[in-house]
Amino acid sequence: MKRLPVLWLLLWVCALYSAGIYLFVGGFLLVRLEVNRTSTCGDVLQPGEEPADFCRVQPRFRRAVLLIVDALKIDFTWFDPHNAAPRPYENKLPVLEETVSSRPAHSRLYPFRADPPTTTMQRIKGFTTGSLPTFVDVGNNFASSAILEDNLIHQFGQVGKRVVFMGDDTWENLFPKKFHRSLPFPSFNVKDLHTVDNGILQHLYTTMVSDDWDILVAHFLGVDHCGHRFGPDHPAMADKLTQMNGVIRSVMDRLQNDTLLVVMGDHGMTDTGDHGGESQKETDAAIFLYSPSPLFPAAPSESEPDVVPQTDLVPTLALLLGVPIPYSSVGQVLLPVFPPHGQTKGAVGGLSQLEALWINAKQVNRFLETYSGMAKDIPPESLSRLKADFSRLSSEYLATVRRGRPPSPQLAASLQAYLTSVRDTCRATWARFNPLKMAAGPSVPPRYRASTAISPQAELHHLIPQIYQRMRRSLDDDGELSAGSEADGRPAVEAYGLGTVYSAPLVLFCGLLGMGLLLLHPEGMALSFLLLLLQMGAVLHIHASSTTLSGCFNVPWTPVVLWSLAATQFFHATGHLPTFPSIQWGAAFVGFPEGHTGTVLPASLVTLNTFASHILFSVGCPLLLFWPLVCEVRGGRPGTACSEEGEDAVMEMRLRENPQQFSSALLQLSTRYLFVLGAQVFASVCAAAILRRHLMVWKVFAPKLMFEASGFLVSSASLLIGVTLVLRVDVAVGRWFKRLIPDASR
């Protein structure tokens, strides 16, 4: 059997499919173009006559404390005094409601809406840069690279503010060497509810009473980890929220009048404690603003925003703390924290609502002009409309300022509408599709088909040795070419188990692999794995009983398709879905309860958990070739996998007598299996390409494409492992025969 050519051909086919997937994904999931420019205090935003827009007034606050409670869902913050039997996550943060009710001029509580994907790294990026995420950013969540875009942390450093951080080590990866002092704690062990939070509390209060900080960032993880481990409806969640209530109260007691407190969640969570998608339960976090000095010029009114987008935090904090708004921010200032126009006299940091909106609009317009000149992906009609709107608003605002007239009531509303329109336009075009790459991707795999088909000449080369072997065997039966062991003086050798020499190690390997994969799954999955193994056996039995062995070992399409569909079926039967929130992250800590120092090992464990069925069926795919031979017996029924009348049943040893046919059958089976898997990926590719502007593209079609593509890559690698095992057994059997009969050639 020609072993290396078979393996190289399979590697080539897998590489072709992988190249096609890479090309399509490269055109479909391009990262939004980042504008690597930064704002400075000396920037003069056009149009305008102000010498410096960003830093022209005294900051409203000298210090700020940012408490990020990971996964602080808005539902966790509501307080209902009439609820006599609250659930574990209800009524556990009374300090927020008490403060808002008793001190409305000092505090507000809003829903804080995140842009999907709702994973921590993307959310940190969103509320520090003010930019919108892209779908492929989700893949960076556990390998966070430094943020290159302009951001609040960079701006604080530019104006000399000392930023002290403690908590989730994701911040340290995103902002390396940006902190005056940093106390990161490992964040990936979702079973650990207390290490990060307790580590923060050891340093938080002592830091607050010191004088070596201007911005204090503390990122708590206990609530998020409790959700992942137990879900929100668990007594442990009540304990964590009660702890956070005490933390918030203690921090408020230590604040000075020139300090702003922001308590916020980065995302919410589902009823099972997961997050990552775009359901309202996952996107709606909470934000609480408080200062010992009056923060809100007016009492709550109907004009208060129902929801605060997370991007809006960036320009709001920038103007309150006297730093430039980051260059790429598309957020909108939170108006209630600024006094109405004409009521800023005597106020510290006297920016009115209209002035704040005007600075914000000029900054967003500058980013829009820069980005549209670099990327060319914003629709021309939308770009023209936005430019016309800004030009009209500029003329109206400048005329109002130069003539000293009071602004019209509609001007502030028009500026808000302009900022909202820019954000919506950017959100609609955050993924720049490349039709050329998208078309090139699906066209690559079909190019291999002609070369893998067996030509008539090759078939003839296979057929002639078979005829020769059959004639030789017939003469042996007549005794004419009989060469008994006693005649030539060599002892007779009896060998047992050679009839299953290929399938036996493969079945053993699949069994051991299945037990290992079962350990990575939650309790209760043993029945699913038992059904998986039983279905594998049933498919093999049906295939063997319907196969006729007449010198041809090729596996037909039907069992190959059924084998592939069974792998997809058990992907769902083992508790998985093609969505990011359904990934079973707990698999990363099987055998490692203390957590990991890197990301490669936990990522590998999660991959094995997610694609367990793909791995088992791909490794066991060669059994479709061997099983009809394993079931071969003398005197079987016609039409079944039995030898012909009068012929000794040698089962899998027949493959060694026909090495060319063995090679072609194994290669054909593998390529057919890859073709079926590729067809599934192709269907997802077509759906994603055709529906790339669909409302649900990032919620349904893009995750499905990512899971299908990942499943194909894992299945390809597993298939290569299974084929390599078969070839290794073939090498060992060949060496055994050579040692047994050194003078003969088989």
For the cut 90, the answer to whether the pLDDT of residue 611 exceeds it is yes
Average pLDDT of the chain, as a whole number: 83
Residue 469 banded pLDDT, cuts 50, 70, 90:
low
Beta bridge mates, 286: 111
Beta bridge mates, 397: none
Residue 690 tokens, joined: 């055709």
Residue 204 tokens, joined: 């938080």
For the cut 50, the answer to whether the pLDDT of residue 455 exceeds it is no
Greater confidence (457 vs 720) lies with 720
pLDDT, position 461: 53
In the chain, the amino acid numbered 349 is: G
Least Cα distance to 310 among 340, 286, 291 occurs for 286
Cβ burial, residue 508 (10 Å; 0-12/13-18/19+):
exposed
- Sign of the CA dihedral with 647 first, then 650, 652, and 656 last: negative
Please say whether the beta carbons of 586 and 685 come within 8 A. no
State how far the Cα of 543 lies from the Cα of 630, in Å rounded to an integer. Answer: 12
pLDDT (mean) for 528-552: 84
For the cut 70, the answer to whether the pLDDT of residue 401 exceeds it is yes
Cβ atoms within 10 Å, residue 636: 17
For the cut 50, the answer to whether the pLDDT of residue 476 exceeds it is yes
State how far the Cα of 579 lies from the Cα of 587, in Å rounded to an integer. Answer: 16
Phi, psi of 248 (to 5 degrees): -60, -45
Q: Which of 112-116, 282-286, 428-432 has the highest mean pLDDT?
A: 282-286
Q: Which CATH superfamily is domain 26-433 in?
A: Alkaline Phosphatase, subunit A (3.40.720.10)
For the cut 90, the answer to whether the pLDDT of residue 653 exceeds it is no
In the chain, the amino acid numbered 694 is: H
pLDDT, position 188: 76
List Cβ neighbours of 434 (8 Å cut-off, separation of 6 or more). 26, 27, 28, 30
Please say whether the beta carbons of 726 and 20 come within 8 A. no
pLDDT, position 649: 46
pLDDT, position 94: 96
Residue 707 banded pLDDT, cuts 50, 70, 90:
very high
Q: Cα dist. 666→107, 375, 719, 732 in Å?
A: 71, 48, 11, 18
State how far the Cα of 198 lies from the Cα of 222, in Å rounded to an integer. Answer: 9
Residue 635 banded pLDDT, cuts 50, 70, 90:
very low
Summary count for the chain: helices (H), strands (E) = 25, 8
Residue 346 banded pLDDT, cuts 50, 70, 90:
very low
pLDDT in tens, 117-155: 787 888 898 999 998 876 554 444 444 478 888 999 999
Place of tokens 């078939």: 459
Angle at 669 between CA 666 and CA 670, to 5 degrees: 85
Place of tokens 């000449």: 457
pLDDT, position 444: 64
pLDDT (mean) for 41-67: 79
* DSSP assignments along 555-617, one per residue: PPHHHHHHHHHHHHHHHHHTT--SSGGG--GGGGGTT-TT--SSSHHHHHHHHHHHTHHHHHH
For the cut 70, the answer to whether the pLDDT of residue 290 exceeds it is yes
Percent of the chain with pLDDT over 70: 81
Residue 58 banded pLDDT, cuts 50, 70, 90:
confident
Residues carrying CATH 3.40.720.10, the chain:
26-433
pLDDT (mean) for 55-83: 92
Greater confidence (217 vs 353) lies with 217
List Cβ neighbours of 136 (8 Å cut-off, separation of 6 or more). 29, 30, 31
Beta bridge mates, 68: 219, 264
For the cut 80, the answer to whether the pLDDT of residue 313 exceeds it is yes
Residue 276 banded pLDDT, cuts 50, 70, 90:
confident
Residue 48 banded pLDDT, cuts 50, 70, 90:
low
The 3 state secondary structure assigned to 693-724 is: CCCCHHHHHHHHHHHHHHHHHHHHHHHHHHHH
Q: Pinpoint the alpha helices (H) of 620-658.
A: 623-630, 653-657
pLDDT (mean) for 700-720: 91
The 3 state secondary structure assigned to 433-461 is: CCHHHHHHHHHCHHHHHHHHCCCHHHHHH
Residue 428 banded pLDDT, cuts 50, 70, 90:
confident
Residue 99 banded pLDDT, cuts 50, 70, 90:
very high
Residue 636 banded pLDDT, cuts 50, 70, 90:
very low
Q: Cα dist. 193→304, 542, 612, 631 in Å?
A: 36, 50, 28, 54
